[in-house]
Amino acid sequence: MTLAPVLVLAALLFSLGVYGLLARRNAVLVLLAIELMLNAVNINLVAFEAMLQDSLATGQVFAIFVITVAAAEVGIGLAIVLLIFRNRATANVDEFSLMKW
Amino acid sequence: MSLSDWLSEPTNWVFLVVGLGVAGSAFRVVTSKNVVHAALYLVATLGGTAVLFLLLSAEFVAWVLVLVYIGAVIVLFLFGIMITRAPIGYDASLDNNRRGIAAVVSGALFLLMSWAAIDFFGSEPLQGIGEGTSTELLGESILGRFVFPFEIVSFVLLAALIGGITVARKDATPAESEEGV
Amino acid sequence: MTNFLLAAAEEEVHSAVEAAYTSGFWAEYAWIMLVIPWIAVLGIIFFGKRMKYLGAEIAIGMLAFNTIWASILFILNITKGVVYEGAVTIAEIGSNLIFELGWVVDGLSIMMYFVVSFVGLVIFIYAVGYMKGDVRVTWFFASFTIFAGSMLVLVGAPNLVQLIIGWEGVGVASYLLIGHYWEQKENSSAGMKAFFTNKVADIGLIIGAIMVGVTLGTFKFSELSNAAAEHADSLALVAGMIGALLFFGAMGKSAQFPFHIWLPDAMAGPTPVSALMHAATMVTAGVYLMARTFPLYQNLAEDIRPWMVAIATITLFAMGLLALVADDIKKVLAYSTVSQLGYMMVAVAAGGYTAGVFHLFTHAFFKALLFLGAGSVIHAVHSNNMSDMGGLRKDMPRTYWTFVIGSAALAGIIPFSGFWSKDEILVTLGHEGYTAVMWIAIAGAFITAFYMTRAIMLTFHGSYKGHGHPHESEPVMTVPLIILAGFAAVVGFLNIPGVEFGGRGNFTQWLGMREVVMGDHHPTAPDWGMAAIGLGAALLGVLAGLALFARDKATQQERDKFEIPALYPLLRRKYYMDDAALGLVWLIKAPFARAIDWINDYIIDGVVNTMGFLTAGLAQLVYGGLDQRGIDLGFNAFAYASGGSGERLRRLQTGRVQQYASVFVGAAVMFVIGFVIFG
Amino acid sequence: MEWFDTWGLSLIVFLPLVGALLVVLLPREQEESHKWISLITTGIVLILSVVAAANFDFGAAKSFQYEVNESWISAIGANYHVGVDGISLPLLVLSGFVTLLSVIYSWNHWEEPRNPKAFLALMLVLLTGMNGTFVALDLVLFFIFFELVLLPMYFMIGIWGDKSERVLPVFGKTVSVRLYAAIKFFLFTLFGSAFMLLGFLALYLNSADTVAGRTFDIPALIARAPELTMLPVAGWIFAGLFLGFAVKVPMFPFHTWLPDAHTAAPTVGSVLLAAILLKLGSYGFIRIAIPILPEQAKQWAPVIAVLAVIGIIYGALACLAQTDMKRLIAFSSVGHMGFVMLGIATLTDVGINAAIIGMVAHGVITGLLFFLAGSMSHRYHTRDMDRLGGNQKLMPMLGGILAFTAMASLGLPGLAGFWGEFMALLGSYSPLDGLSLGLFRTAMVIGAVGTVLTAGYLLWMLQKVNLGEPKAEWDDQKFHDADKFELAAWVPLIVTIIAIGVYPKIVFGATTEAVEALVKTAFGG
């Protein structure tokens, strides 16, 4: 087993995440795309860890951190979407316009 | 290393199958016209990723991924989808009208990153696959060398928790008027 | 060209004259005359409404007091000569700029004190009758008293700054009184026109005063005269400019062409106002200013005098013509006033100090008389138009006879006062070499006599064309007429060449300014040849008037058109001067002002608002990121920056959140590719 | 009276703050006590200012008197340094005077949403800021007071201002008049003073060679002017100060906050804004910018003169296009302050004296005009001149006072407004040696034309508002003429206008010597 295919897979996931981020209107789906990107990062971390065989297992540790942060992000992100939805009755990103001058 | 060499290794077959599954379901996550389906495809992606982690001998991370993500985050997502009453079922308006640009940009990004990966790590072998990383090592690492980031992350989590509650609480709605200047 | 100062003899004469003059109590306390009108104004405003004659008592009492004081000074001046100057410093800027308020007592100012107080007194008394039952009698007398006070401040001014104070003061009084019936827009507009026209001319006066002040370090007339007499080098450099500017100012107040446009409209005010301000005193302020600064023109600013003569000549002739076609009796007199002001101005400009001031003096009496007579008629027939009058001779005998005397004086019929003063002007013009101007002035005398005959014929002869039965006015109005008629008849004798009164020669000597001995030409014996020509022109005018207007004709317009068809449209439109002025004002007010307003709102404020919006957008961007409502920076900051500018725009711009992200990611990719390839 | 010599000024400055505190502490219901406290406080402040003026040594008007110089923030060398000289004395008295009259006027004139407590407290804080600016002799102190003025005025406009809405040109946005004006006022001034602060800091950094010797002290900086003005950055410093003060004056083209702020502000707000706040800018020029950087002042003088003259003509023409009476008066301020700045630009003692008397005269005259405009819109509920008319008939006394004030405003000789205009023109006929004669004399002529236009728009306003028959819509309405509180506030102003007009020495007596010394120190000769 070699490193490159894993990295390519991670790159693919990341790119798909970017695509989703740019192309989706629904806020929940945008959040999903972000999860994809974070997941790609995790794969990278673990793969490099597997390559380097670090004595502290740094890659895996950070993958765990990323998962934690991702959980936090999803929590707060969804809370916001919820709130906006409650006030605006829409979860579409391009209709968020809360402030007018 | 030729393709036949690569294919001669059994783990690579496993990787190929899992990787295609991950890639395919990830593709469906960002293209599905159904919000619930998108979320379920993400479950598949994450499950595949967990298998991949096992292949890369990161068992602990794999189980964390399954437990935290599939167990909690996705459930959260589904709740979010239900509460925002996103149309469960086919909905063409889930995408905006800039898919072309997005596709070009992300495609270019993908090409760039894979080129870089292959160019720099093209034939880098992965050693020690299958040996497994001891959870003990991880534990020592997290609570030893990385205890400070760990504590910070826990704070972030706490803050996110409180923040999420504060934001989503019903009586904490923002001021009704937005007439500000 | 007479240079009246023979350089060698100058000092000697100067000191000799100085020694002969005395001051005494009456001159030292002459400031009281300048101050009590203002006390009277306060008295009228605060107590006038509760008094029997609504405040007129206070005004008349004040003027009576002033008349007595001025008469005493006048007599002192005739017998002994009086000169005094006093001042209070009201501001000192550094060491070289001092502002003073003061009073000057010399021949010229005594003459003006007397005219203002005496003619004012008579007219105020007349006004009690004329204004009876008016809407705002108290306010009328208050404004009128403001005028009297300002005029006294003006003529008593020892320096240019005080003169300007009085000058603008009479301007305001004029504005208030012309617009006395401000319920009608035309009247308040006439007041505005007067004020505005004068204000334009005042630019000259103010800048001229500034130049005097800076050049000489003082605004005092005495210093100005001395500097002019001594040909002070600093002054000589700018004297022409100063002279032109001061004359520019004088043109406004004395209604010289082309600033005459305000005076006929000023007739919108009550008739006593027209009589006192727009005939007898205020409009002569310009002539007075020229007389006060006469040494400057005599010695240093000679090169502009031909221009002054030219303007005055246009005024005296062209405005006389306008009086021919006016139907409104007050307008006839108004144009006549402008024309006579031209006479005064032409005399002063040509170098005839005494001639100009003497005409000012006589004109004050007979023109006030004519206006009051016209007022009496208007009071009786309730119309200003001569086409509504006619045949009033029998109904109003006292008005008629006094009006005739006034007209005779104005037309220059011997022995009435106008004859003597006009004759002196003609002599001066001849003597100074302005022969062409002299002949124009003689033609002007013809026109004067002509239009006055026309006015008398149309008003008092023929058949009555108005409504109701006109009656002679009550004594409170006719007695002033008779008094003024008496003066109009005799004041001319004061300056018959060679005839002396009191101990100090005649009017010419009384007027001598203290600072410099007036050396302008004043004949010692009458010039009977010139008198005959002038009188002949006047009589010709009377005859022409009689010939044309003795017969009663149907309407005013018919007569005019018949007689002077070529000139008629031009004259009826007043040479289109008013239209030009209105056009100018419109130009300033409509396109210019609107353009400025537009620039202010759209361009300057536009820039400001754009900056404001941009800044606010930026602020929202930052604020949005920190907002406790949890608005996610990445999603919405740009949306806020774009602001709520319509659904369509908003969608476009919110789309940009992701568009921006596309660009951002794309650019990053390109950058890295570029870096990889070229790096 | 020895204590007065040292702490009198501080009392004048901070007593209003104490008053404001008292007002704030008392419960909202006790309106009468709020009013009385404010009245007594401002009254005492005015009395103290008058006492200060009476004890002022006019023979030594050029030196600072009642001076206090205590160390304050020693780390940056900022001192609590206050004092008055002949230049600031008239303005100090003016600010106490106008504020007292504003309190009297406020007695029964409250704009919605009433709340006298807050309004009076803000007014008192404002008084502290204004007095403080006029007596501060330390740049930090000056800056603090200069900015302190902003807040109360911001709230006055924003809370008690015009409740209507208007559509912004160009953008087509509908904004609330008062909020728009308040924010514009605030941001504009803040924008300018940011640059001013930079200028102050640059002066501080260059004030001495050693860190310990650096100072914000104005007299010390003036003493060091010859070195400071030769600095390579001196031009930038002056530009910063210029921007800060020019916005406050305001000079064309930084004036656009002024019509909006004036129009939107409550009556008393406009009065204080016009009477005193605008003076802070021109005072800053005289007190700080010119004496500390004389060479730069010379270089900038033509620019200032040109902008001033543009302001005069521009303001007058803009006035002619207005339909809103208050906005017209606001624009007239642009023109009048143009004369003030023209006087300053000449850099002569005549011109600067003209500027000071112009400031005082504009303070009382335009203050009175805003009082009148406020009282009229109080009664008619409109400021649209097309709807007004015949005011003289409906309210003779108010109309008469309006006519008088308009006359004063157009610079009628014998009233206060004349001296500022006349002497500004006089000064620009012979500006400081080295300044372009041609430019300044052209400016003089244009300025003189400006006086004509000024007369034009004021008479036009009088005709539209005061004269003619009242419009039919007012037929069945009862109007009460000026009441006793209004008269109590206005009559002192009228008397002042006449007094200064007839006897300008009231102002010049204090200023002349100080200005002369200032010009001499700055430009020699």
For the segment D203-238, what is each residue's pLDDT rounded down to a tens digit? 988 888 777 788 889 999 998 888 888 888 888 999
DSSP-derived 3-state class of residue C88: strand
Q: Is residue C20 domain-resident?
A: no
B-contacting chains (≥3 CB pairs under 8 Å): A, C, D
Same domain, C585 and C631: yes
pLDDT digits (tens, 9 = 90+) for C587-601: 777 777 777 777 777
Query: What's D168's DSSP letter?
Result: P
**pLDDT at res. C617:** 65
Same domain, C411 and C549: yes
**pLDDT at res. D270:** 93
pLDDT digits (tens, 9 = 90+) for C263-305: 888 888 888 998 888 888 888 999 999 988 888 888 887 888 8
Same domain, C648 and C525: no
More confident residue, C84 or A100: C84
Same domain, C454 and C373: yes
Query: What's D480's DSSP letter?
Result: -
**pLDDT at res. D94:** 94
**pLDDT at res. B83:** 74
Contact check, Cβ <8 Å, B98/C655: yes
Are the beta carbons of C339 and C319 closer than 8 angstroms? yes
Residue D366 has pLDDT above 90, yes or no: yes
Residue C256 has pLDDT above 70, yes or no: yes
Residue D387 has pLDDT above 90, yes or no: no
Q: Best interface-test mutation with B: which of C613, C615, C665, C670 has the largest number of B CBs within 10 A?
A: C665
DSSP-derived 3-state class of residue A26: strand
**pLDDT at res. B89:** 59
Q: Is residue B111 domain-resident?
A: no
CA angle D138, D139, D142 (to 5 degrees): 85
Query: CA C183: distance to chain centroid?
Result: 24
Amino acid at D338: G
Distance CA D313, CA D331 (A): 11
- The H-assigned helical ranges of C550-646 are 556-563, 568-572, 577-587, 593-598, 605-626, 633-642
Q: Specify whether domain A4-89 bears CATH 3.50.50.60.
A: no
**pLDDT at res. B85:** 64
Residue C328 has pLDDT above 50, yes or no: yes
pLDDT class of C21 with cuts at 50, 70, 90:
low
**pLDDT at res. C560:** 57
Residue D331 has pLDDT above 50, yes or no: yes
Are the beta carbons of D316 and D457 closer than 8 angstroms? yes
* Among C521, C548, C579, residue at a domain's last position: C579
pLDDT class of C668 with cuts at 50, 70, 90:
confident
Express as a percent the part of chain C with pLDDT over 70: 82
**pLDDT at res. C530:** 82
Contact check, Cβ <8 Å, C670/B108: yes
* Count of domains forming chain C: 2
Q: What are phi and psi of D108, to 5 degrees?
A: -130, 20
More confident residue, C631 or D463: D463
Residues in chain D within 8 Å Cβ distance of C269: none
Sign of CA dihedral C99, C103, C106, C109: positive
Are the beta carbons of C243 and C301 closer than 8 angstroms? yes
Beta bridge partners of A55: none
Distance CA B16, CA C468 (A): 124
Range of the domain at C169: 159-579
| For residues D44-62, average pLDDT | 89
Task: Return the structure tokens found at C270.
Answer: 């009550």
Q: Best interface-test mutation with A: which of B28, B51, B56, B153 has the largest number of A CBs within 10 A?
A: B56
Of C616, C629, C669, the CB nearest to B112: C669
CA angle D455, D458, D460 (to 5 degrees): 105
Contact check, Cβ <8 Å, A101/C643: yes
What is the per-residue burial (b if ≥16 Cβ within 10 Å, else e) of C174-202?
A: bbbbbbbbbbeeebbbbbbbbbbbbbbbb
Contact check, Cβ <8 Å, B108/C666: yes
Q: Is residue B8 domain-resident?
A: yes
Residue D494 has pLDDT above 70, yes or no: yes
Residue D409 has pLDDT above 90, yes or no: yes
Query: What's C95's DSSP letter?
Result: T
Contact residues for C282 (Cβ-Cβ < 8 A; gap 6+): C147, C151, C170, C173, C174, C253, C276
ipTM, interface predicted TM-score of the complex? 0.66
Are the beta carbons of D364 and D98 closer than 8 angstroms? yes
More confident residue, A23 or D332: D332
| Interface contacts (A, C; CB < 8 Å) | 56
Q: Is residue B146 domain-resident?
A: yes
Range of the domain at B22: 1-90
* Count of domains forming chain B: 2
pLDDT digits (tens, 9 = 90+) for C215-244: 888 888 888 888 887 877 888 888 889 999
Pairing of strands D78-84, D65-73: antiparallel
| For residues D427-452, average pLDDT | 91
Residue D438 has pLDDT above 60, yes or no: yes
Same domain, C306 and C426: yes
Distance CA D402, CA D392 (A): 9
Are the beta carbons of D16 and D272 closer than 8 angstroms? no
Q: Is residue B124 domain-resident?
A: no
Q: Is residue C106 domain-resident?
A: no
pLDDT digits (tens, 9 = 90+) for C39-93: 999 999 888 788 777 788 888 999 999 999 999 988 888 887 788 888 888 888 8
Pairing of strands D65-73, D165-167: unpaired
* Among B90, B122, B148, residue at a domain's last position: B90
**pLDDT at res. D448:** 92
CA angle C482, C272, C469 (to 5 degrees): 70
Pick from D320, D346, D342, D315: nearest CA to D331: D315
Contact residues for C452 (Cβ-Cβ < 8 A; gap 6+): C336, C407, C410, C411, C541, C545
pLDDT digits (tens, 9 = 90+) for C487-496: 988 888 888 7
Contact check, Cβ <8 Å, C662/B102: yes
Same domain, C614 and C575: no
Same domain, C508 and C417: yes
Same domain, C527 and C630: no
Pick from C185, C174, C178: nearest CA to C148: C174
DSSP-derived 3-state class of residue D2: helix
Query: CA C332: distance to chain centroid?
Result: 18
Q: What is the CA radius of gyration of chain B?
A: 21
**pLDDT at res. D102:** 93
Question: In this structure, what CATH number is given to the domain that contains residue B17?
Answer: 1.20.120.1200
Of B83, B110, B180, the CB nearest to A82: B83
Residue C203 has pLDDT above 50, yes or no: yes
Contact check, Cβ <8 Å, C643/A100: yes
Q: Is residue C135 domain-resident?
A: no
Contact residues for B83 (Cβ-Cβ < 8 A; gap 6+): A82, A85
Task: Calculate the average pLDDT of chain D.
Answer: 89
**pLDDT at res. C626:** 42
Distance CA D523, CA D295 (A): 8
Sign of CA dihedral C222, C228, C234, C237: positive
pLDDT digits (tens, 9 = 90+) for D163-193: 888 887 767 777 788 888 888 888 888 888 8
**pLDDT at res. A95:** 56
Q: What is the CA radius of gyration of chain D?
A: 22
Pick from C321, C192, C310: nearest CA to C247: C310
Q: Going along D118-230, which residue ranges are E strands? A: 165-167, 174-176
pLDDT beneath 70, residues of chain B:
1-3, 84-94, 96-98, 127-132, 170-181
C-alpha pair distances (Å), C530 with each of B179, C350, C410, C437, D441? 88, 17, 17, 14, 48
Q: What are phi and psi of D524, to 5 degrees?
A: 70, -170
Q: Is residue C667 domain-resident?
A: yes
Q: Is residue C68 domain-resident?
A: no
CA angle C419, C156, C361 (to 5 degrees): 5
Contact residues for B116 (Cβ-Cβ < 8 A; gap 6+): C676
Same domain, B1 and B83: yes
**pLDDT at res. D310:** 92
Same domain, B81 and B14: yes
Sequence length of chain D is: 525
Same domain, C553 and C674: no
Q: Going along D136-204, which residue ranges are E strands? A: 165-167, 174-176
Same domain, B67 and B143: no
The answer to whether C626 contacts chain B (CB < 8 Å) is no
The helix (H) or strand (E) run that includes residue C337 is helix C329-350
Q: Best interface-test mutation with C: which of D349, D405, D467 has the largest number of C CBs within 10 A?
A: D467
Burial class of residue D401, CB neighbours in 10 A (0-12, 13-18, 19+): buried
Residue C621 has pLDDT above 70, yes or no: no
**pLDDT at res. D364:** 94
Distance CA D312, CA D332 (A): 8
Q: What are phi and psi of D78, to 5 degrees?
A: -90, 130
Query: What's C188's DSSP letter?
Result: H
Distance CA C225, CA C214 (A): 15
Distance CA D240, CA D285 (A): 12
* Among B61, B90, B119, residue at a domain's last position: B90
The answer to whether B180 contacts chain D (CB < 8 Å) is no
Q: Any idea which residue has 């730069």 for tokens?
A: D296
Q: Is residue C9 domain-resident?
A: no
Contact check, Cβ <8 Å, A51/B121: yes
**pLDDT at res. C19:** 44
pLDDT class of A101 with cuts at 50, 70, 90:
very low
DSSP D374-424: HHHHHHHS--BTTT---HHHH-HHHHHHHHHHHHHHTT-TTSHHHHHHHHH
pLDDT digits (tens, 9 = 90+) for C434-445: 888 989 999 999
Burial class of residue C435, CB neighbours in 10 A (0-12, 13-18, 19+): exposed
**pLDDT at res. A90:** 65
Pick from D324, D512, D348: nearest CA to D424: D348
Task: Calculate the average pLDDT of chain C.
Answer: 80
**pLDDT at res. C189:** 87
Distance CA D80, CA D69 (A): 6
Distance CA C338, CA C357 (A): 15
| pTM of structure | 0.75
* Among C549, C579, C609, residue at a domain's last position: C579
Nearest CA in chain C to A20: C658
DSSP-derived 3-state class of residue D174: strand
* Among B60, B90, B120, residue at a domain's last position: B90
**pLDDT at res. C642:** 39
**pLDDT at res. C6:** 36
The answer to whether D183 contacts chain B (CB < 8 Å) is yes
Query: What's D384's DSSP letter?
Result: B
Same domain, C617 and C567: no
Sequence spans of domains, chain A: 4-89
pLDDT class of C559 with cuts at 50, 70, 90:
low
Q: Is residue C357 domain-resident?
A: yes
Contact residues for D327 (Cβ-Cβ < 8 A; gap 6+): D259, D262, D263, D383
Contact check, Cβ <8 Å, C89/D430: no
Cis-peptide, bond into residue D413, ω within 30° of zero: no
Residue C2 has pLDDT above 70, yes or no: no
Residue C643 has pLDDT above 70, yes or no: no
Same domain, B7 and B66: yes
Same domain, C453 and C599: no
Q: Is residue C252 domain-resident?
A: yes
Distance CA D513, CA C153 (A): 30
